[in-house]
Chains A and B, each alone.
Chain A
């Protein structure tokens, strides 16, 4: 998976590039609009991350050029401006997502993964598994080591999200948005409480824990060697 980052702020570009590389993506960084557009038109990227305000050509123009060249590469905009018209304009031009600074890196990473997954068809599996955890999506049943776990509807949805994106750190805002449809940043600890309750049912009776807290970033469901 190769990503192109066009960002004129040297530090921002460097941090993004480093973060995404360490998350397992190949990244290419351009510091101005002209270079960015030139690289974007080569067509060998899976995702473009564009700053809106750029020297030379702005993000909108790069997006237009890319779409005019017939490339369907997904585009994620980063911007310091949060005007509704901007957002609408970007989406009209064919942007796929829009993140307003300041954003958390975990949020960016989650969105990048969502965009990259979009092209592929969702798994048709009727059961999701990790280690000895099994989730039956049809019968709405969860089992761990053969033992049934009683979950509320929201707990089930939360576990399904964690399982579908196992190994990925999911920020609280993404969980709130995907499970409860709460699409705004809130500083409550609702998600913490919900995760704690899920842990109580899922992990507490078992020695190997599956839900892990990544401090300051979010939660991840994965099997970790002790």
Chain B
């Protein structure tokens, strides 16, 4: 079942509130007017009663009534809605000013009666031991007024509820316009238009935070999408050169018969290109895994100095060849994935070895709390290029990919992925003739 809309929900709530308020007000007013009528009737009846009482005070028997009737009728003729009845102590009626008067209650005081479609207010009093006087006031018109009033109250309640529902719906629609706007923006977002943003300044306070969050999400999506597009373009570009080499080389080789040696040579050339491509694809798959958060490092306790020593031993022949001194200082222990961290540090050392001139030095400094610094002497790097060193396929010198043994420019990106998967960070610095890669691991 579809949930009721926010607008309808609010409009209905408004209507219910108005109905409750107007109903209570109406009922209160109805009750007050009823009370007011009772008081009015009581005053009227009491004033008449005191008058009649003096006239009839001497009445003892029914036959004494005759001479009093003329002034009594005269008195009653002034007030058409008033009637009276005089009864004896045995309950028999001695006189009634009007026929079809209802039975009065035995008790004295004010009561309200209903008989034959007429409402009466009655006031009874004992004239003396033998006679009892009951006054009847016809209050049908009061009751009519009250009934009319009740109808009016119900009508008001209904109409005001309806009116608030409609007005409320309109107000809610207006009030929720920023929310609809948000929905429209969200609906218009697609891979093509990730640049759309919600106008946070124009949003009401309650929505500004949400709008900010949505905008931040869009920004992240946009960034990731841009990176992905750039990455795909880079992949295509990077694969294009070796592929084109392979195609050309293979076709040229096949254009005419050649010696066995020439074919072998051609295949070896192709093999080198293919190995380069395979390496690059494997590296890219590794990075893709890291991007998807699929890189889950193990949590073994590692003596980092031992790992660094093993790596330095591995690179020692290469360094000796390049007349570069390798050095480790300090010790550190941390929890992490041995293979991954070896790979990360290996890429840093490999990178350092590429850029250290003969007679230079590579120094790996370890600090407890896990900080690794791989520093090498060498040409200074532009400060603007330093953070970009970790970008995929980034090369300080764009013209520098010639010869298939050149690495793909993914090594430092892989290192950063591994460090980040361990919850750490890496940055590059360049100062006083040293290039430093500083890794902070938790």
> Which residues from chain A sit less than 8 Å from chain B, CB to CB?
82-84, 100, 102-104, 154, 176, 180-190, 193-194, 197, 215-216
Contact = CB atoms under 8 A, between A and B. Distances in A.
Nearest to A80: B285
8 closest Cβ contacts across the A-B interface? A216-B271, A102-B278, A193-B317, A184-B343, A180-B314, A187-B407, A193-B318, A194-B317
A188 B346 CA distance: 10
Contacts of A183: 339, 342
A215 B350 CA distance: 23
A84 B285 CA distance: 12
Nearest to B277: A102
B342 A184 contact: yes
B108 interface: no
Interface string B305-341: 0000010011101100100000000000000000100
A176 B314 CA distance: 9
9 contacts: A83-B289, A102-B282, A104-B275, A176-B314, A181-B310, A184-B342, A187-B407, A190-B315, A215-B268
B296 interface: yes
Contact of B317 (A84, A182, A197): A197
Given A180-B313, A186-B350, 11 more contacts: A104-B275, A104-B278, A154-B313, A180-B310, A181-B310, A184-B343, A190-B317, A193-B317, A215-B271, A216-B271, A216-B272
A186 B310 CA distance: 15
A83 B289 CA distance: 8
Nearest to B404: A187
B350 A188 contact: yes
B66 to A, nearest CB: 119
Given A190-B314, A190-B315, A84 B346 contact: no
A186 B343 CA distance: 8
Given A154-B313, A183-B339, A193 B321 contact: yes
Contacts of B279: 185, 187
Contacts of B317: 190, 193-194, 197
Nearest to A154: B313
Given A82-B289, A190-B317, A216-B271, A182 B282 contact: no
B313 A216 contact: no
Interface residues of B, number: 32
B318 A102 contact: no
B167 interface: no
B275 A216 contact: yes
Interface of B: 268, 271-272, 275-279, 281-283, 285, 289, 294, 296, 310, 313-315, 317-318, 321, 339, 342-343, 346-347, 350, 353, 405, 407-408
Nearest to A183: B339
A134 to B, nearest CB: 24
A82 B285 CA distance: 8
B346 A186 contact: yes
Contacts of A197: 317
A84 B296 contact: yes
Contacts of A182: 314, 342, 346
Nearest to A186: B346
A180 B307 CA distance: 11
B346 A184 contact: yes
A83 B296 CA distance: 11
Nearest to B286: A82
Interface centre among B275, B314, B408 (most CB of A within 10 A): B314
Contact of A102 (B281, B296, B314): B281
A171 B161 CA distance: 86
Contacts of A186: 343, 346-347, 350
Interface centre among A100, A154, A185 (most CB of B within 10 A): A185
B276 to A, nearest CB: 8
A186 B342 CA distance: 11
Contacts of B310: 180-181
A16 B144 CA distance: 106
A53 B283 CA distance: 22
Contacts of A180: 310, 313-314
A185 B410 CA distance: 12
B294 A84 contact: yes
B316 to A, nearest CB: 8
A193 B405 CA distance: 14
A154 B315 CA distance: 12
Contacts of B339: 183-184
A39 to B, nearest CB: 30
A102 B242 CA distance: 16
A189 B318 contact: yes
Contacts of B278: 102-104
A100 B407 CA distance: 21
Contacts of A215: 268, 271
Nearest to A153: B313
Nearest to B296: A84
Contacts of B294: 83-84
Contacts of A184: 339, 342-343, 346
A29 B358 CA distance: 53
A188 B318 contact: yes
Nearest to B271: A216
Contacts of A103: 278
A183 B278 CA distance: 17
A194 B317 CA distance: 6
A104 B353 CA distance: 26
Contacts of B296: 84
Nearest to B282: A185
